[in-house]
Amino acid sequence: MDRIYIEGLALRCVIGVFPEERREVQELLIDITLDTDLTRAGVTDDLADTVDYGTLKKRVRSFVENSEFQLIEALAEGIAALCLEEPKVTDVRVRVDKPGALRFVRTVAVEIERQRRP
């Protein structure tokens, strides 16, 4: 399977369990890996034969910036479901980093992998 990577997408949203986390938006870093077949796009050189990752990035941005999840796990799940709405995507991996979530730790992250259901 071929892959498309969207790495280091820096977005801000309300995220967290504790009241002090929910007072202001926080920055997250998001990596998305899309499994898809790029054979046809490689031959035709036509955007219609691949995943339009620019449009997908805009959809993810809108989803994240308008969300108010408590857990980064739930946010990652929502992003994965959104990515799997794209018909050409068969599998998706989503990593959500929450820099500064813990003192003395550069980041805390979750990574999930989901597949299209038949």
Beta bridge partners of 36: 2
Give the Å distances, CA to CA, from 63 to 3, 56, 81, 83, 118. Answer: 22, 11, 11, 11, 25
Catalytic residue among 57, 58, 88, 98: 98
pLDDT at 118 over 80: no
Contact (Cβ atoms closer than 8 angstroms) between residue 7 and residue 62 = no
Overall average pLDDT of the 78-85 stretch: 98
pLDDT at 117 over 90: no
The yes-or-no answer on residue 88 being catalytic is no
- pLDDT for 34 equals 98
pLDDT band (50, 70, 90) for residue 100 = confident
pLDDT band (50, 70, 90) for residue 67 = very high
Q: What is the pLDDT of residues 9-41, one digit of tens each?
A: 999 999 999 999 999 999 999 999 999 999 999
Domains located in the chain, CATH noted? 2-115 (3.30.1130.10)
